[in-house]
Structure 1
């Protein structure tokens, strides 16, 4: 190894935080009665390291197998399943953290802290950070979803703000984890941020569309024009149920069970009609038609109201209503309006209502007018009789 390489390794080791000096010796943690026997084990560094690692492996196994199982049985007595899921998510991280702590203490107590062995501790600490980060990402999303599903206790957090809070929590967790990992390896984050400013300008020009989608996603999550499960209509013609609101795009499921992914930049610059918005999720449908000029309008209104009241998918409240809209070419324009529980029922309900109206009008002798044309053949004086043409 050259002098330059050795100097670089020494410089890197000097910049890193020396965790080995901050950790207590394993022998100091043992009772005084055991220390004389442990001093004999210390004469064999490899045996000492394997013994410490085995003890921590046994401790990790006990925690994962027995302690976690006891906590799961206790959590089953609660009314919610959130604590059960959290405990289950902690099973693997607890095992990994305890095991890697054992690696650190074993190498430190056995004296493996110089040269290449000096990287064992930073590697182990990095693995601990990764295990904690992975568990934190899962638990944060689980807790936020549980809170948003309980609006009675947490009024400021609902299903509309759930995607935004999940994304923000993940960003914060990743930033903290990245900072901890950099500090473990002795890398100054301030220097990286300074150089990232120049790189950010170049990336901004190269990925302006992607950045536009990201910023639009943040505005959509903050402004909350729609939420998961809402039915929306786009000005470009797409209509469907919102299944995912991401930082870059929104996904909707159409009535044909086709998932459409729309970039948030497109949604941010388009008109969006939220059929599930308003004070409640109910939606009013309109069935336009015409009745004959000779019909009794009171009877028409009564028949249409009866159709609405007998339909199982039309709500009793708000009540259905009939409105005459004007005089058309073939008859009087009329609309039957009723409320349905969910926007996704619109097509099916209109289909059945039209069939019921047609049957009700036929049973009550009411006519549904349609355009008619009468053709008249007029003979002009002076025309030859058709019989004169027979030769």
Structure 2
């Protein structure tokens, strides 16, 4: 009985007005919480992760990895919450109960921010998968930028919630941050406009790397698209760097997006060509275009169109099947040569710019007028 009495007295002893029995119960609750944490960790590692690896997508793997540690920590927070409820901490002279509950709120907010911070990896996976299907490298560089921005934003929000949970007013902090952000925005106005220009290039896709474009007097091949600027290699082999904000305000002509390239020629033959020969020449050129492998057969025109100053003009209007500059020039050259051969075989001459000068003898005209007057 003396031992039981001693144990009873020990249990009845208090610390800060709380019996030792409650501390023992709280210790048992925390012990169970740690055991549950280990069980959940084992369950995730041995069961859930293995099941997720059998699926064809990586989405569930990334989501579970983002959830694993925060859910384990949540079990500890629940154990601490139950412990605070059991202890019933004193509120006088210092409100220990409120301090403990504020601490639990801090832990819960931190845990939620931790989960959201990890969950950004899932968004990064989706964006990377989407960016991998495009030819441009801009979106590949944009994915890490979005990831870092979102994580910084999550940490910033978490800090604001923590400060508010501690009982401090965040209105003054937000006001100061607003003024500071305005100053930074004004200082970095050009950089931000270039970044927005990069986003517009990414979303609208007026061109990609390797495209041949023309913007006002600027013409060349796109070599690199960055956050701040785009680099274009001109045909003179110089490298021009133009800010994205400036480039997006220009009218861009993308030659690489042409489905076919146009050939437009005016062939002039001499005025001694007869109507029958002109009809034969037009028909022969049409037949040649119809049989040419490099000419698009959907649409072409060959017509006698004008009486020129020194020639009878035949318009040749067609499109090549290839848009490659070198192949287009080869096709154009072959068309011109075959037109020359066709006209030569028919005995027709290609006219060149010329003028006919008629000379009039003024003295002879005066003599003729005198003779007319005498008669």
TM above 0.5: yes
Q: 1:44 to 1:195 in 2, by over 3 A?
A: closer
Aligned residue for 1:82?
none
Indicate yes or no: 2:42 matched with 1:58: yes
Give the aligned partner of residue 206 of structure 2.
226
CA distance in 2, matches of 1:242, 1:340: 26
The residue correspondences of 1:148-297 to structure 2 (distance < 5 A) are 174=150, 177=154, 180-186=157-163, 191=172, 193-214=174-195, 216=197, 226=206, 232-240=213-221, 249=229, 262-275=242-255, 282-288=259-265, 290-293=267-270, 296-297=277-278
Deviation at 1:292, TM superposition (A): 3.5
Measured after TM superposition, the shift of residue 94 of structure 1 is 1.3
Which of the numbers 57, 61, 72 marks the counterpart of 1:102? 72
Alignment of 1:338 onto 2:318: yes
Which of 104, 121, 124 is matched with 1:134 structurally?
121
Query: How many corresponding residue pairs?
Result: 289
Residue in structure 2 matching 1:361, options 331, 336, 340? 340
In the alignment, is the contact (CA less than 8 A) between 2:263 and 2:332 conserved in 1?
Answer: no
Structure 1 residue 103, shift from structure 2 partner: 2.8
- Residue 357 of structure 1 and its aligned partner are, at CA, apart by 2.9
The question of 1:349 aligning with 2:336 is answered no
In the TM superposition, what is the alpha-carbon distance from 1:369 to its structure 2 partner?
5.9
Is residue 125 of structure 1 aligned with residue 125 of structure 2?
no
Alignment partner, residue 360 of structure 2: none
SS in structure 2 of the partner of residue 339 of structure 1 = strand
Change (3 A) 1:290 1:96: same
Whole-angstrom distance in 1 between the partners of 2:243 and 2:66? 39
- Where structure 2 has 5 or more consecutive residues not aligned to the other structure, the ranges are 1-23, 85-98, 355-375
Pairing of 1:31-42 with structure 2 (within 5 A) = none
Distance 1:98 1:361, change over 3 A: same
Q: Distance in 2 between matches of 1:269 and 1:364?
A: 49
Q: How far does residue 358 in structure 1 lie from its aligned partner after superposition?
A: 0.7
Q: Secondary structure at the match of 2:218?
A: coil
Distance 2:224 2:304 in 1: 39
Q: Per the alignment, do residues 201 and 107 of structure 1 end up closer, same or farther by CA in structure 2, a change over 3 Å counting?
A: closer
What TM-score, normalized by structure 2, do the two folds share?
A: 0.55
Larger Rg: 2
**In the superposition, relative to structure 1, how do residues 227 and 270 fare at CA in structure 2: closer, same or farther (>3 Å)?**
closer
Q: Pick the aligned partner of 1:90 from 60, 70, 87.
A: 60
State the match for 2:302 in structure 1.
322
For structure 1, which runs of at least 5 residues remain unmatched after alignment? 1-38, 73-86, 150-162, 373-391
- Note closer, same or farther for the CA distance 1:217–1:43 as it changes in structure 2 (3 Å cut): closer
Indicate how the Cα distance of structure 1 residues 289 and 109 shifts in structure 2: closer, same or farther if over 3 A, else same: same
Cα distance, 1:135 vs. partner? 1.0
Structure number with higher helix proportion? 2
1:282-316 deviations in whole A, cap 9, x for unaligned? 34512435444256443443344334323434332
Query: Using a 3 Å threshold, how does the CA distance of structure 1 residues 364 and 347 change in structure 2: closer, same or farther?
Result: same
CA deviation after TM superposition for structure 1 residue 102, in Å: 0.6
Query: 1:50-71: per-residue Cα shift (whole Å, max 9, x none)?
Result: 53343222232222221452x4
TM-score (norm 1): 0.53
Counterpart of 1:314 in 2: which secondary structure? coil
CA distance in 1, matches of 2:234, 2:290: 29
